A and B are shown apart, each in its own frame.
Chain A
Amino acid sequence: MREELVNTATALLDEDPRVAVVLADISSDLFDGAARRHPDRVINVGIREQLLLGVTGGLAKTGLRPIAHTYAPFLVERAFEQIKLDLDHQGGGAVLVSVGASYDAARSGRTHQAPGDVALIDTLSDWTVHVPGHPDEVGPLLREAVGRDGSSYLRLSTESNAAPHDGYGLVPIRHGRAATVVAVGPMLDPVLAAAEGLDVTVAYTHTPRPFDRAGLRALVSGTDAATVVLVEPYLAGTSASQVADALVAVPHRLLSLGVGRTDPRRYGTPADHARLHGLTPDQLRRAIGELLPA
């Protein structure tokens, strides 16, 4: 997905004189060619994340459309007040693009993991959040985010589904009667494997914000029970309030699956961490199955 980010951002720099890319060393070598062509619009501030966001805010105020990019914990968590104040409070917008996601860097440990990033973005107002599930989804989503006003967060991962999907709103992938399972981004394939043979609807989205509340109501009304399972590749329950708001008039059950809050203090692979957080197909199948009528 990072390669698609670089390709698309480089093309946007060539096409649109408003676009700027702001970096804090990470991925900067991948933008060397673009930086030679656009030295004023490819800005590497060094290992300085507060300045990364401050500069992004200043560029936005002077009429540019900045794309700020670095590793997820450094982009969203390290300088969160700069996101809140230098972008939102100043009335400016930007596109933030992270790599690393929750545990792409399992071997690197907790310092390089940001399962709480989308929950933090949720404390702001009117952000669009894209969580692509396949590299082919990255380019179009980045283009649209840059073309919109306001602020967007793209959360890129080395985890990926086998194929790209349209994921605006909640897009049903298969239909069933007993429950509605919402899979965000790269959780779709594990969810589809888990749901094999179960009588459930599976819906996909690569854009959890704004959350497709009307779409969820429509999907739920097509099932026998208002039972919803959220499967998110970041902190479990991040979208629970969205589901609650969508179904405020509908007595319902909700199971929120995702990455746990506890620092597992384990290295290993992303697959190891999926298991630690209960997100393998077998674990998901058991969790979903317990909700279904016997």
Chain B
Amino acid sequence: MHATYMTEIKTSAERQAQTERLLALMSRLTGDEKHAPSATSTLDALWVLYDRVLRVSPQTVDDPERDLFLLSKGHGPAAFYAVLAAKGFIPLDWLDDVGDAGSRLGFHPDGTLIPGVEIGSGSLGHGLGLGVGMALGLRARGLWRPRVFVLLGDAELDEGSNHEAIAYAGATGLDSLTAVVIDNQSATHGWPGGIASRFAMNGWDTSTVDGRAWDALEHAFTTPHPGAPRVVVATVERKW
């Protein structure tokens, strides 16, 4: 009992310190001293993916066996850039001139300019279709180990292109694909019945977790889902 308690304290303290480090990196590129929850809605999911889940490192960004992470929701990529910098994919000083003419980091990421970034995004609704194609491409090449993770926002699901991809991936049981939907309840007309239900009715394996809980996120990202794609709905504070 006592030992468990100590571990939790230690884990919590480490987590707090790591979060502070990431927020400090975000501040370098936004100039803000404090970040509203909406600006960090993706931060915990991104950190858990890069720290605990994705089989990719700065040394393996061109390895055909690497896992692929696609940031479909390209808006507000500060948290993404902070995680990439913390993990050594990009130099820390790239965070200091984001959006400038000479910078490789813009207000929406360009995959051809940033090591380790698989796609350029910003226009909503492109990542999941690309992710389906990548999962199919890996399979056609006989590469069974890599997995494809696509991060979306709940408002991004308004785009009909996502629903083309959801229906097809579910119908064909594309089990190398995991969608991560950050739900900060920002979709204008909402998703009555819950986001996971949209995926479930198309045959996806689903999990809805606290988007701030690292262990729960890790468990959701790593639970096997043979024969079906998986969606992890990561719920965070409401945007407004």
Q: Which residues of A contact B (CB under 8 A)?
A: 17, 20, 40-41, 43, 45-46, 48, 50-51, 53-64, 81-82, 85-86, 89-91
* Cβ-neighbour of B140 out of A59, A61, A90, A91 (below 8 A): A59
**A20 contacts which chain B residues (CB < 8 A)?**
136-137, 140
- CB pair B164–A59 under 8 Å, yes or no, is no
> Who on chain A is nearest to B127 by CB?
A54
Q: Which residues of B contact A (CB under 8 A)?
A: 64, 110-112, 118-120, 123, 125-126, 128-141, 143, 160-161, 164-165, 167-168
Interface of A: prevailing SS:
helix
> Who on chain A is nearest to B140 by CB?
A40
> Who on chain B is nearest to A20 by CB?
B140
Shortest CB-to-CB span from B74 to chain A, Å, is 10
Interface of B: prevailing SS:
helix
Known: A48-B164, A63-B141. A57 touches B129 (CB 8 A): yes
> Who on chain A is nearest to B160 by CB?
A50
- CB pair B138–A62 under 8 Å, yes or no, is yes
What's the Cα separation between A45 and B135 when bound, in Å? Answer: 14
**A45 contacts which chain B residues (CB < 8 A)?**
164, 168
> Who on chain A is nearest to B110 by CB?
A89
- CB pair A61–B133 under 8 Å, yes or no, is yes
- CB pair A90–B164 under 8 Å, yes or no, is no
- CB pair A56–B133 under 8 Å, yes or no, is yes
**A61 contacts which chain B residues (CB < 8 A)?**
118-119, 130, 133-134, 137
What's the Cα separation between A51 and B165 when bound, in Å? Answer: 6
> Who on chain B is nearest to A53 by CB?
B129
**A40 contacts which chain B residues (CB < 8 A)?**
136, 139-140
A-B pairs with beta carbons under 8 Å apart, 10 shown: A50-B164, A51-B165, A54-B165, A58-B129, A59-B133, A59-B137, A61-B130, A62-B141, A85-B123, A91-B112
Shortest CB-to-CB span from B91 to chain A, Å, is 22
Shortest CB-to-CB span from B162 to chain A, Å, is 9
Known: A46-B168, A86-B130, A90-B119. A41 touches B140 (CB 8 A): yes
| Seed contacts A20-B140, A54-B132, A61-B119; 8 additional CB < 8 Å A-B pairs | A40-B140, A51-B129, A51-B161, A54-B129, A57-B129, A59-B136, A82-B161, A85-B126
